[in-house]
Amino acid sequence: MMITMPKYIESKILLVIEFVVVNSLYLLSIITYYRIIYNGPGSPLDYPQLRLNNSENPFDSNHQPAQKPPEFMTIHTLKLNQGFRYCNKCKCWKPDRTHHCSSSGKCILKMDHYCPWFSTCIGFFNYKFFIQFLSYVAIYSWIILGITIYIIYNLLVTEKYKDEYLTINLILLCVISFTFALAVVFFVCFSLYLVSKNLSTIEFQEQRWNYRGGNVYEFDRNGKQKRLANIFDLGVRENFKQVFGDSILEWILPIDINYKIANAGFKNGINFKVNEDVYKRWCENAELQNQLNDQLAEYKNRVRREREEYVV
């Protein structure tokens, strides 16, 4: 690109601007690429407190953990009535939004997906850098596409093609930048949409297909079923701050905002802020479900007793 462009750009000022902007984006892309790999997604195994004891069998006779989860995990965990989650394979506690990745062979904090291009998972600690990388590449591709189209258009309009040939490098650069611009911008838009909703790709798919009970429902006064909102959705602005940080520099530059420290509040991939209104409705829904289950159990027991009495 730096060999092909200067041949067609006559303005030195425009050439300097192009050099600074394009190379800055290229440098940021390289930095975020390596930060995705270096930081990693994060795992409960990174926290010794989340590991079950090191004995050969950390589970009791009922296949339940023989020890209780640490307080810094349970204080904000959405336990409801399902109990605290743990992983039999990793032998560790699983905080909210944690999933076991078969490709990585371990549990991943706020797992989004496994990316073969980086040969690693995208999770809590590298999710920001992943989106920034896509954004840098998309902007880089669109700028290169715009410059190459302008150069080709200028050559055709001014009829300079009669005196000089269009190099194959310029044509290839235009085609490749067009391909990347279209492909990557789609992933950027989808990723930013998920950030605005505070959803990971896995959570999005679970809600869409109701996989593993991803949807939670409530009933209105007319008995009509209604899906409850995402409990982690705090509003668009707050959702973006959760991923990118509080300042403009943190949004634009690859600055790390999270810490692999157990007591780091909501910046460790273990604890997450929740929408209190939605959480309240989740709890009410869970209590109603428990009441319904108790009533069904009581009804079955009554029917069973009546049948036994009838047989006697």
pLDDT at 34 over 90: yes
pLDDT at 92 over 80: yes
The CA-based dihedral angle spanning residues 132, 138, 144, 150, taken in that order and rounded to the nearest 10 degrees? -130
pLDDT at 113 over 70: yes
pLDDT at 81 over 50: no
Residue 241 parent element (H or E)? helix 236-244
Which range in 49-63, 90-104, 141-155 is most confidently predicted, on average pLDDT?
90-104
CA nearest to 92, candidates 120, 111, 75, 73: 73
Q: What is the pTM of this model?
A: 0.82
Q: Which 8-state DSSP code applies to residue 67? A: S
pLDDT bucket at 57, cuts 50 / 70 / 90: low
- CB-based contact 18:9 (threshold 8 Å): yes
**113-136 CB burial, b ≥16 within 10 A, e <16:** bbeeebebbbbbbbbbbbbbbbbb
pLDDT score of 158: 73
- CB-based contact 261:268 (threshold 8 Å): yes
What is the DSSP pairing of strand 99-101 with strand 106-108?
antiparallel
* Cα 261 to Cα 70: distance, rounded to the nearest angstrom: 13
Q: Decide if 189 is catalytic.
A: no
254's tokens: 């690859």
Note the maximum CA span of the chain.
Answer: 108
Q: Which long-range contacts (CB under 8 A, 24 or more apart) does 32-38 make?
A: 32/129, 32/130, 32/132, 32/133, 32/136, 32/254, 33/118, 33/133, 35/126, 35/129, 35/254, 35/256, 36/118, 36/120, 36/122, 36/126, 36/129, 36/130, 36/133, 37/118, 37/119, 37/120, 37/126
pLDDT bucket at 1, cuts 50 / 70 / 90: low
| Active-site residue, from 87, 92, 101, 115 | 115
Q: Which long-range contacts (CB under 8 A, 24 or more apart) does 114-123 make?
A: 118/33, 118/36, 118/37, 119/37, 120/36, 120/37, 120/40, 120/41, 121/40, 121/41, 122/36, 122/41, 123/40, 123/41, 123/42, 123/43, 123/269
- Residue-wise pLDDT for 189-232, tens only, equals 999 999 999 999 999 988 877 655 555 555 555 556 666 778 89
High-pLDDT (> 90) share of the chain, %: 40
pLDDT bucket at 173, cuts 50 / 70 / 90: confident
* Cα 91 to Cα 101: distance, rounded to the nearest angstrom: 14
* Cα 123 to Cα 120: distance, rounded to the nearest angstrom: 9
pLDDT score of 225: 61
Could you give phi then psi for residue 167, rounded to 5 degrees?
-75, 150
Measured CA to CA in angstroms, residue 140 lies from 21, 23, 104, 191, 196 at distances of 9, 9, 31, 18, 23
| 122 contact partners, CB below 8 Å, separation of at least 6 | 36, 41, 111, 112, 113, 114, 115, 130
281's tokens: 């409705």
Average pLDDT value for residue range 256-260: 92
pLDDT at 104 over 50: yes
Q: Is 77 left (phi over 0), alpha (psi -120 to 50) or beta?
A: beta
Could you give phi then psi for residue 287, rounded to 5 degrees?
-65, -40
pLDDT score of 3: 52
